[in-house]
């Protein structure tokens, strides 16, 4: 299951030379994962309020290939690589056209929103991901 979010680069995303800050890519990837979740019919606030869970980043490994620049239109991709009891692993890419600017492997843990202890991924989400 894959998803792509278009992201425009604004001045606030860049340094004085018009190059995106390295941490900006992580923000773009977070936004894409949130929108991917929304496309499945769930929101982060709904998960907290209705199901008492949050997804927290356990680990992130990112590789940068080329810089994103002021006014670029990027596509930020999300693809789930694996789904465990409480762990989801994603592959993400930031692209400008056919060029890969950055790629990452992001592991998220489903946790109880009150204790941050790992819990099972909610059945409603698991059902969609496993179909």
Distance in angstroms (rounded) separating the CA atoms of residues 115 and 57: 15
pTM of the model: 0.94
- Domain positions in the chain are 2-130
Residue 1: predicted pLDDT:
60
Q: Choose the catalytic residue: 13, 15, 71, 114.
A: 15
Per-residue pLDDT in tens (0 to 9) along the chain, 131 residues: 689 999 999 999 999 999 999 999 999 999 999 999 999 999 999 999 999 999 999 999 999 999 999 999 999 999 999 999 999 999 999 999 999 999 999 999 999 999 999 999 999 999 998 88
Best CA proximity match to 3, nearest among 92, 63, 108, 84:
92
Which distant-in-sequence residues (6+ apart) come within 8 Å of 8 by Cβ?
71, 72, 73, 74
What DSSP designation does 29 have? H
Res 59: pLDDT:
98
Provide the pLDDT for residue 20. Answer: 97
DSSP assignments along 107-119, one per residue: EEEEEETTT--B-
Task: CATH number for 2-130: choose from 3.30.70.1400, 3.30.365.10, 3.10.310.30, 3.10.129.10.
Answer: 3.10.129.10
Q: 75 an active-site residue? A: no
Alpha helices in 15-87 (DSSP H): 22-39, 44-46
């Amino acid at each position: 299951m894959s998803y792509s979010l278009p992201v425009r680069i604004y001045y606030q995303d860049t340094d004085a030379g018009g190059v995106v800050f390295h941490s900006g890519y992580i923000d773009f990837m977070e936004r894409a994962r949130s929108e991917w979740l929304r496309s499945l019919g769930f929101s982060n606030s709904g998960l907290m309020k209705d199901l008492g869970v949050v997804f927290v980043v356990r680990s992130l490994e990112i590789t940068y290939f080329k810089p994103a620049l002021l006014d670029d239109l990027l596509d930020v991709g999300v693809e789930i690589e694996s789904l465990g009891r409480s762990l989801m692993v994603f592959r993400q890419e930031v692209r400008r056209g056919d060029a890969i600017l950055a790629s990452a492997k992001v592991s998220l843990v489903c946790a109880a929103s009150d204790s941050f202890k790992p819990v099972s991924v909610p059945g409603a989400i698991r059902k969609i991901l496993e179909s």
